[in-house]
Amino acid sequence: MDVVLIDIANDPLVKLYGAYRTCYTPKTPREVWEDIASQAVSREKIAQFVEERLKTGHVSPLEQVVFWFGISGVSRALSHQFVRHRIGISFEQQSQRYVRFTGKNEERLEFVMPESWKDAGREAMFENLMAEITRVYREAVAAGIPAEDARFVLPNAAPTNFQIMVNFAELLHIGDLRLCTRAQWEIRSMVARMRSELMKKVPELAKYMQPKCGEKRMGYCDEEMKAYEACPLSNSRPHKLQVMEVFKRVRSESNKPMRDLEESDFRAAEAFRESGAKA
Ligand SMILES: Cc1cc2nc3c(=O)[nH]c(=O)nc-3n(C[C@H](O)[C@H](O)[C@H](O)COP(=O)(O)OP(=O)(O)OC[C@H]3O[C@@H](n4cnc5c(N)ncnc54)[C@H](O)[C@@H]3O)c2cc1C
């Protein structure tokens, strides 16, 4: 597997600052950007401002910052999972219709083999099947069957390549799901490499790429308890039910104990909104 950060929106930290600042200042975007250009606002202040905003739920400015990645040598099993992400990401993937796979190895095409096959002593079985698939695929192509039809015999193990463009909001969301130990090893490894690549260029932003239980993300695990208990991150991250238990305990000692929301709560919230609007 190879993952390369091809390009980034020019100075993403500053782009993010401009987007956030525009929301919270009477200044026009021209004035905001003049302050940036004249260094009236320091790089340190920019980083601090962005850091504070990233602690909030105001996520849409993150959509204004994009990254391009090149990814190769991942399996079609991974790509099926990856392309399920629908929002804020654009994919270009190597075609099995237009590319005929000849492979570097004479014996067989290239395939991604999970370590577990080797661990189970079934490497040869896997290799033999891939060699047979290679033989059938090549024979099909030689017989004039178009590549788009010959590919029907190719397995999930067939490697594929991507160029993707993804915005920061979606990149963080992908990190939430795919850096989690519940995600499959291959896609987890790919997203970890995307994070490492970004870390080299924009560490101020890359550090926010964490599994959803990370302290910079949701902060707790919301997977089923059995999975949480099996996860090595449970040593340092709480489960949602544990957080609620602690909260309930603390609140039961106060005069505001936790309880389920009732219809009267919605009416109270509405009255609160109206009183705020009048104030
Ligand atoms: C551990 C794991 C196991 C999985 N197992 C399976 C499985 O067994 N079978 C299976 O089919 N899939 C499975 N998936 C894939 C999963 O169901 C999602 O399709 C995938 O994670 C894409 O994420 P997303 O829906 O957040 O899409 P994204 O495009 O990444 O969504 C980005 C954000 O936009 C929101 N969004 C996107 N589209 C809409 C919409 N139409 N309406 C409202 N909000 C929207 C999402 O809620 C999300 O917050 C699995 C994923 C993981 C991480």
pLDDT tens sequence across 204-224 = 999 999 999 999 999 999 999
Could you tell me which residue, 176 or 55, shows the higher pLDDT?
176
Q: Name which residue sits closest to atom 49 of ligand 1, judged by CA.
A: 173
Q: Name which residue sits closest to atom 6 of ligand 1, judged by CA.
A: 81
Provide the whole-model pTM. 0.91
Q: Coil, strand or helix: which one is 160?
A: strand
Alpha-carbon span 80 to 83, nearest angstrom = 6
Range of 258's domain?
Answer: 239-278
Measured at the alpha carbon of residue 138, what is the angle toward residues 136 and 141, in degrees to the nearest 5? 110
| Shared-domain flag, residues 154 and 80 | yes
- The whole-chain average pLDDT of the chain stands at 93
Across 9-128, where does the E strand assignment appear?
A: 66-75, 89-93
**Counting beta carbons within 10 angstroms of the beta carbon of residue 191, is it exposed (0 to 12), middle (13 to 18) or buried (19 or more)?**
buried
**Ligand 1: which of 86, 170, 188 to mutate, most ligand atoms within 8 Å of CB?**
86
The band of 279, judged by pLDDT with boundaries at 50, 70 and 90, is low
Residue 103 has pLDDT above 90, yes or no: no
| Shared-domain flag, residues 89 and 49 | no
Task: Enter the tokens of residue 97.
Answer: 């219709």
Alpha-carbon span 197 to 121, nearest angstrom = 34
**Counting beta carbons within 10 angstroms of the beta carbon of residue 72, is it exposed (0 to 12), middle (13 to 18) or buried (19 or more)?**
middle
Q: How far is the CA of 181 from the centre of ligand 1 (A)?
A: 16
Residue 252 located in a structural domain: yes
Q: Considering its fold, how many domains does the chain have in total?
A: 3
Residue 211 located in a structural domain: no
> What does the longest C-alpha to C-alpha distance in the chain come to?
80
Q: How far is the CA of 180 from the centre of ligand 1 (A)?
A: 14
The band of 104, judged by pLDDT with boundaries at 50, 70 and 90, is low
Residue 233 located in a structural domain: no
Q: Name which residue sits closest to atom 45 of ligand 1, judged by CA.
A: 87
Alpha-carbon span 48 to 169, nearest angstrom = 19
Q: Which amino acid is present at 253?
A: E
Residue 10 has pLDDT above 90, yes or no: no
| Shared-domain flag, residues 87 and 65 | no
Active-site positions read 178
Q: How far is the CA of 169 from the centre of ligand 1 (A)?
A: 14
Q: How far is the CA of 179 from the centre of ligand 1 (A)?
A: 14
| Shared-domain flag, residues 36 and 149 | no
Residue 169 located in a structural domain: yes
| Shared-domain flag, residues 61 and 171 | yes
| Shared-domain flag, residues 156 and 22 | no
Amino acid 221: pLDDT: 98
Alpha-carbon span 123 to 104, nearest angstrom = 19
CA trace torsion 146, 147, 152, 154 (10° rounding): 150
User: Pocket around ligand 1: residues whose beta carbon is below 6 Å from it?
Assistant: 84-87, 170, 173, 177, 182-183
| Shared-domain flag, residues 83 and 151 | yes
- Ligand 1 closest atom vs CA 87: 29
Task: Enter the tokens of residue 79.
Answer: 């790509």
- Ligand 1 closest atom vs CA 174: 30
- Ligand 1 closest atom vs CA 184: 1
Tell me the mean pLDDT in the region 252-263.
Answer: 83
Closest CA to 204 of 71, 22, 37, 14: 14
Measure Cα distances from 12 to 6, 70, 220, 227 in Å: 14, 19, 28, 36
Closest CA to 184 of 69, 68, 73, 79: 79
| Shared-domain flag, residues 63 and 178 | yes
Q: How far is the CA of 82 from the centre of ligand 1 (A)?
A: 10
pLDDT digits (tens, 9 = 90+) for 124-182: 999 999 999 999 999 999 999 999 999 999 999 999 999 999 999 999 999 999 999 99
